[in-house]
Amino acid sequence: MTVKTRILLGVTGGIAAYKSPDLVRRLMERGAEVQVVMTAAAQKFITPMSFQAVSGRPTRSDLWDSAAEAAMGHIELARWAQLVLIAPASADFIARLAGGRADDLLATLCIATEAPIVIAPAMNRVMWANKATQANVDTLMARGVRVLGPASGNQACGEIGAGRMWEPLQLAESVLEPPANAGLLTGLNVLITAGPTRERLDPVRYLTNRSSGKMGFAVAAAAREAGAHVTVVSGPVHLPTPTGVTRIDVESAREMYAAVHRHIGEADVFIAAAAVADFQPVTVAKQKIKKQGVSVKLELEPAPDIVKSVADMAKRPFVVGFAAETDNVEDNARSKLKRKKLDMIAANQVGDGIAFDCEDNALTVLWPGGKSEVTRGPKIDVARTLIGLIADRLPPPDGSPRRGTRKRRPPPPADSRARLRSRRVRR
C-alpha cells in the first residue's frame, strides 16, 4: 500500500475488546494509520493506555475533552477518518448507531463522518439473534454500513453459537480489501433456495440427494455482501446461516414451494440453487414399510417445479436457475433456460469431487443471447462472480443502460426499495 489509509477504530464494551490492540497492530502492519476511540463501557474491559502503546496516538474517548474540543476535535476526527471500523461492536452500540444517537464521542463521530462505516459485532449468541439487534443491523446495512461477522463458536459466556468477533487478521484483511461486489444489489430483495429436499416414504425413510447447501449459502452470503436483503429457503443442511441472511428451513419440495411463494411477492431476484426432488412419493406410508419379498415398488409423481412456477408468474422477479448436469452441460442447460423461461441459468457439471457436497465449483452461466464461464474456485468466489453477472443483467430501474454498459452506478435514493421494486419483470 503506498497511500496510508486513515482508520478510526471504535472500541465498544465487550470482552472481545481484548483482541482490539492486536487488530490495531494488524491494520498498521498493512500500512494503515489508526486512531482509537473508546466508549466508556470499553474502558471497563481494557485501558486506553494499551491502545496508545500500539497505535502511537493518544486514545480518545471524551466528547467533552476541552483541549481537543477547543479546535472542534470531534469534527476534525470525523473528517480525518477515511474509514470507521467499530470492533468489537456491542449490541448497545449497534442500537445507538441505528438510532442516530450522538451521546458519546464515538457515536457522534459516526454521524459526523462521511467515511464508510464497518462494524464487527461481538456479543452473546442470544443477544445477536434478538429481533431488535437484527432489525438494527438491517437498518445499518440498508444505509450502507458493512457488517463483518460475527463468527460462530465458543463464546466467553460459555455458550456456543454466532456472536464471536472475527479474528483481527481476518478483519484487517477484509477492511483494507473491500469486496468487489459491495453495493451492487443495495436495497434489492433476493430470495434463494438452497440444499436438498427430502421426500418421505414412511416415518423413517426418505428420498433425497447429495446437495450440502454450500453453493446456495455461498450465493446468499455474496448477495448479502452486495447489499441485498437476502432470504434463503433451505432444505435440511448442516450449515451456519450467513450473517445478515434470513433463513427459512423446510424439508420437502412441497414445503419449499410454499415457502418460496409466501415470499416471492417481495423478491426482486429469485435464485434457485436448491437440488429439489423431481419426483415425490404418491403416498407416505403411516407405518414403516415392511421388508417383504425381494423388491419393492414405489409410486412417484412429479414434485412441484418451483423455479418454473416463479418464472410463469405474470409479475415476476429476475429468475436465475441452476442446472446440475453430468454430460452435455451447455446444451442441456440452454434447453432448461428456454423450457423454464428463466432469465439466467448457472450450469455446473456434477460428479465426484465437484459441485455436490464439496468446497469448489465452476459454472457456465447462460442467458438469452449470452454466456460467461466462471472458472473453478471456492464456492464463495464463484458465487461472487455469479452475483456480479446477475447485477449486470438486471433490468435497470428507470430505462438507464445496464450496469455492464454504463460508466457509474448512481447511488440508490432513500426510497430505493420502492423504486428498485419496479425492476420486477412484467410479462
Q: Report the nearest approach of ligand PMT to the CB of residue 207 (Å).
A: 12
Instruction: Assign 3-state DSSP to the chain and report helix, strand, coil percentages, each to 5.
Output: 35, 25, 40
Cβ proximity to ligand PMT, 120 vs 324, nearer residue: 324
Respond yes or no: is residue 157 known to be catalytic: yes
SS3 of residue 245 by DSSP: coil
Cell triple for residue 377?
474456485
Q: Which is nearer to ligand PMT, 216 or 227 (CB)?
A: 216
Provide the residue type at 83 as one letter.
Answer: L
HSE-CB of 102 using CA atoms within 13 angstroms: 10
Which grid cell is 402?
Answer: 445496464
Q: CB of residue 301 vs ligand PMT: minimum separation in angstroms?
A: 11
**Measuring CA to CA, how many Å separate 212 from each of 197, 240, 274?**
10, 12, 9
Nearer Cβ to ligand PMT, position 88 or 196? 196
Task: Provide the minimum distance between the beta carbon of 25 and ligand PMT in the complex, in angstroms, as a whole number.
Answer: 37
Q: What are the cell numbers at 415? A: 426510497
Measured from the CB atom, is 215 or 228 closer to ligand PMT? 215
Please identify, using beta-carbon distances, which residue of 51 and 322 lies nearer to ligand PMT: 322
Binding site for ligand PMT (CB under 6 A): 193, 195, 211-216, 253, 272-276, 278, 303-307, 321-324, 336, 348, 350, 355-357
Query: Which helix (DSSP H) or strand (DSSP E) does residue 376 occupy?
Result: strand 370-378
d(C-alpha 366, C-alpha 394), whole Å: 14
Residue in 157, 284, 354, 358 annotated catalytic: 157
Per the omega criterion (within 30 degrees of 0), is the bond before 240 cis? no
CB-facing half-sphere around the CA of 118: CA atoms within 13 A: 26
For the CB of residue 45, give the shortest distance to ligand PMT in the complex, in Å: 39
Q: How far is the CB of 112 from ligand PMT (least distance, A)?
A: 44
3-state DSSP call for residue 412?
Answer: coil
Q: Which residues are catalytic?
A: 157
